[in-house]
Chain A
Amino acid sequence: MPQKGGATPPSTRFRRTDADGGLRICIVFVVLSLVMFTASVREGDGPGVFTTARGAWMTITMPIRWVGGAVTAPFQGLGNIFANLTADQERLSELKAENERLVARNAELEESEQTARRLESLLGLQSLYNLQSTGARIISGSTDSWSSTVTIDKGTSAGLAVGMPVTDSNGAIGQIIRCGAASSTVRLITDENSAVSAMVQSSRAQGVLRGSVDGTLRLSLVRTDQNVEVGDTIVTSGLGGVFPKGLPLGTVISVERTSGALYYDIEVEPLSSTESFEEVLVITSLTEDQKPTAEEVAQADQQDSAAGSGAKDESASESGEGDDEQPDGTSSDDGSDADDEAAADDQGQG
């Protein structure tokens, strides 16, 4: 039997069927991969061969995803039960009866209870905000480590489309970025590339809420002369034209003001946590009262015009550079309007 080479271990019993060790086929596939990569990057998220192929693949693999979500769902429930059990042990001496009752609970009942609660909350949210929406269920999380996305079990056949906002019972969770026939991919607001036009509920200060790699949210473009405090609720401003106005997004957990900075550095804790088989609402269209009023748009314009001119002055005095670098890393020629940027960001997610 011919051996493959001097370095081969003696016990190896393979014959070389390819004299070049696969070099030729490797070159072919490398070229093919690079061509696909280039074409895919050029195509982006717009319609094209790769988008269609990905949509078809999502549809084909949806049953497997669904089964995977169903199989792992009880483990998430077990995690909740473990937390409950731990809490019970701490209070065992004073709450014996309650402890016994909690221990008797099983995972199925716990999950059913939580599901019912989520559905009730969703219905409450739908009616509170008068949302025109379609219910869906998360069937899978992100497949790669790069993006924070979830897959839901409804697609174009249910009337969904790219760009539609998605909420759970606590508030907005993200926006659809890909839509197959029977499933859709939702980019979560915690994704590093996500940006949602938002405002502080109490002071109405406008800004842009961005995701980050560590899962927290950062509210940028809020001027330091405005009032923001820890514990404030952040809601959607509706300026992007994608999310309805007033949906809760998170709670401020830290506000930092760097000396000489035009904007606060605000860290926000998201309200929602997405788990498989949780129910969500996809908002299919906005009513007039969910869009920002002309007054709010003018206010946002005014806010960022002032900040833009301030940035210009500061930029000129410190470095003499022409364009003003925004704190969130974006730059613009004229100290862009917050609402314009927010609109671009919101739309950009799609």
Chain B
Amino acid sequence: MQIKDSNRNRRDFLVLAAICLVLQVAVAPNIALGNGRANFGLVFAGVASLLVGGQLGVFCGFLAGLVFDLSTTGPIGLMAFLLTVGSYIVGIEARNRIADDFAGSMRLFAWMALIVSLAYHVAMFLVGEATSIVDVVLLRTLPTSALTLLGFAPFAYVISHATGSALSLGGKPSKSARSHGSRYDLGNL
């Protein structure tokens, strides 16, 4: 039986979005690996698409990409486009995957991070922002993907090990979730 706790789920999702926003704006610029910086927009989109997928996943991907674009000096819309497509593809059959298959989620997200980062940097290369494709791949794409995966891991770990709560981002588990043994009950988000 599907039990809905939409308000709580929405609130938890907003908390997740706020955390990722703060990390993207405040922390990501100050922690770098070579030329790479973590993309917490990608982390948020990945969590959303792996947890919920569908329309909400796509929406979160677009929104996260737009926020990332606004925070950078690159063209607006590029990351939004990539995260929209990425979230749709990952979200097609991956709903609630973090809860069911932590290692699989990590692998799937690693691919998502790598492909999205590569596409982003290659696109920037094609619009004339760099002269060497080798630099683009080795010095930008790989560090970015690695840091983003590192940023995703704590979220995935917390969510996969949480019990009795919706997104388990804080607060007590809902009665409905406890009584029905549901770990992730995002319902009609």
Stretch of B89-97, B107-115, B156-164, B167-175 with 4 or more beta carbons under 8 angstroms from chain A = B89-97
A5 vs B92: C-alpha distance when bound (angstroms) = 10
Instruction: Render B82-122 as a binary contact track against A, CB cut-off 8 A, 1 for contact.
Output: 00110010011101110111000000000000000100010
Knowing A72-B27, A213-B130, say if A8 contacts B95 (CB, 8 Å).
yes
Say yes or no for B72: interface residue by CB 8 A criterion. Answer: yes
Which of the listed residues A21, A39, A67, A147 has the most CB atoms from chain B within 10 Å of its own CB? A21
A136-153 Cβ-contact flags toward B at 8 Å (1 or 0) = 000011111111010100
- Whether A140 touches B30, Cβ cut-off 8 Å, given contacts A5-B93, A146-B74, A329-B131, is yes
Q: How far is the CB of A234 from chain B (nearest CB, A)?
A: 21
Contact, CB under 8 Å: B129 / A17: no
- Report the bound CA distance from A46 to B170 in whole Å: 44
CB interface residues, A 1-34, toward B, < 8 Å: 1, 4-5, 7-9, 11-18, 21-23, 25-26, 29-30, 32-34
Query: Known: A18-B54, A61-B25, A192-B130. Is A4-B95 also a contact (CB below 8 A)?
Result: yes
| A40 is an interface residue with CB less than 8 A from chain B | yes
Q: Most B CB atoms within 10 A — which of A8, A33, A36, A50?
A: A33
Cβ B80 vs Cβ A12 within 8 A: no
Given contacts A13-B184, A22-B55, A193-B129, contact A57 B70 (CB under 8 A): yes
Tell whether, in the assembled complex, residue B91 and residue A21 are in contact, meaning their CB atoms are under 8 Å apart.
yes
In the assembled complex, the Cα of A72 lies from the Cα of B28 at a distance in Å of 11
Interface residues of B in 50-83 (CB under 8 A from A): 52-59, 61-62, 65, 68-78, 80-81
Q: Which bucket holds chain A's interface residue count? A: 35 or more
A37 close to B85 (CB less than 8 A): no
CB of A322 closer than 8 Å to a CB of B: no
Q: Chain B contacts of A54 at CB under 8 A?
A: 70, 76
Once the chains bind, are A29 and B30 in contact (CB under 8 Å)?
Answer: no
Q: Does residue A177 face the partner (Cβ distance < 8 Å to B)? A: yes
Interface residue ranges of A168-202 to B (CB < 8 Å) = 177-178, 185, 187, 192-193
A37 and B84 in contact, given A140-B30, A276-B30 (Cβ under 8 angstroms)? no
Is A214 at the interface (CB under 8 A from chain B)? yes
Q: A33-B80, A177-B73, A213-B135 are in contact. Are A145 and B99 (CB under 8 A)?
A: no
Residues on the A chain within 8 Å of B92, using CB: 21
Complex Cα spacing A38 to B73, Å: 15
The distance from the CB of A345 to the nearest CB of chain B, in whole angstroms, is: 15
Give every chain B residue within 8 A of A143 (Cβ-Cβ).
24-25, 28-29, 37, 68, 71-72
Q: Within 8 Å CB of A38, what residues of B?
A: 77
A113 to chain B, nearest CB (A): 21
B117 to chain A, nearest CB (A): 8
Residues of the B chain whose Cβ atoms lie less than 8 Å from the Cβ of A95? none
Q: Is the CB of A22 within 8 A of B30?
A: no
Our pick among A25, A37, A147, A177 for the contact of B81 (Cβ within 8 Å) is: A37
A13 and B182 contacting across the interface, CB-CB below 8 Å: yes
* A-contacting residues, B133-189, CB 8 Å: 135, 139-140, 143-144, 182, 184-189
Ranked 5 nearest A-B pairs via Cβ = A68-B26, A36-B77, A37-B77, A33-B81, A144-B72
